[in-house]
Amino acid sequence: MLSVPSADIPAIANSRLSTRDDLYERTVPRAYVHRAGISEVLLTGVLASEGDHFSLAAQWPRNHSFYRSSRGRQDPLLLAETIRQAGLFVGHLGYQVPLGHAFLMKTMSYDVDPAGLLLGHKPSDLLIHIHCFDTRIRGSSLTALGFEARIERDGVTIGSGSGAYRCISPAAYAKLRNVAWALPAPPDIPNDAHQMFEPVAPELVGRSSPGDVVIATAGPDHLWKLQIDHRHPALFDHPVDHVPGMVVLEAARQALLHMTSPDALVPVAMRSGFSNYLELDGPTFVKAVPGPPDPAGRLSVRFLIEQYGVVQAEIDFLAETAEG
């Protein structure tokens, strides 16, 4: 959870931009999307807000520092990060969730048209239309929220997404995490077992730098071990006490590419569900469960994220053959 100074939530409303010409001139305040680095903020403004409906603006750089473009197209997980930021932002903007509260992501999904990922000659200006539902209010505080998103680029819908999360106060979050830390530690993996895990070559998972690889081979086919560097400037934009959800999605995506080909497939759809936090110091494994192709013939794979023998997250990818 990013620690930020308290701020006046209505200040966001006062900074709403009234014309489309002004929507892409600056980012929204970084604290409202739980990022420390300004360069990691994708949202740029608010076009409209009415009740449970919001229209936000975002911009994708032609080559993000981590979600890099490849073969003439944007990284699909850049859409997932955009949806994550949009969900957090409307929680603060529309429902006055104070800064410093924790957002516990329960589900997140995206679907994208590969044509909408093609690179242009300038950054991609997006509009994100959000509809919130299943809101739960205790007293005057939001405790849970679901949302759906439709994403436009140049007036054309290129994708959609959804998410659901819980909101808890800093005191409740500390209590929740203290309970987890107080539990007896499960047995560690024997030291000699660590020799099994070999780093995956970056080119085999669509990466150019070894520092961007988050999985290691773990012996059997369709099994990998999470391998993370807490100093990574994008995946660990600020100190946290658990494995970030976007790191988990990246691990599953890299496993998908490793079992197929980084150049042959585009992950055009993703569904994810999170049961619990993944501890930073716990051995974490990614297991692939290939399924039958969907009706459109797209590759279907489910990834089980296990820690201490318990599945803590499930991620489903649909991928289709890349063109170009």
What is the mean pLDDT of the segment spanning 36-61? 95
| Confidence check: pLDDT of 280 > 70 | yes
The torsion angles phi and psi of 283, rounded to 5 degrees, stand at -60, 125
Global confidence as pTM: 0.90
| Confidence check: pLDDT of 155 > 80 | yes
Chain centroid to Cα 284, Å, comes to: 18
The torsion angles phi and psi of 260, rounded to 5 degrees, stand at -125, -100
What is the mean pLDDT of the segment spanning 56-75? 92
Q: Among 82-86, 126-130, 262-266, name the one with the lowest average pLDDT.
A: 262-266
- The C-alpha atoms of residue 187 and residue 181 are separated, in whole angstroms, by 15
Residue 177 is predicted with a pLDDT of: 86
Residue 3 is predicted with a pLDDT of: 30
Please state the domain extents for the chain. 10-176, 188-321
First-last CA distance in the chain: 40
10-176 shares its CATH topology with 188-321: yes
Asked if 99 and 6 count as a contact pair (C-beta separation under 8 A), the reply is: yes
In CATH terms, 188-321 corresponds, of 3.10.20.30, 1.10.3720.10, 3.10.129.10, 3.40.50.300, to 3.10.129.10
pLDDT digits (tens, 9 = 90+) for 169-185: 999 999 888 866 555 55
Q: 291 or 140: which carries more pLDDT confidence?
A: 291
Share above pLDDT 90 across residues of the chain, in percent, rounded to a whole number: 74
Domain spanning 10-176: which superfamily? Hotdog Thioesterase (3.10.129.10)
| Confidence check: pLDDT of 2 > 70 | no
- The C-alpha atoms of residue 141 and residue 290 are separated, in whole angstroms, by 41
Asked if 26 and 9 count as a contact pair (C-beta separation under 8 A), the reply is: no
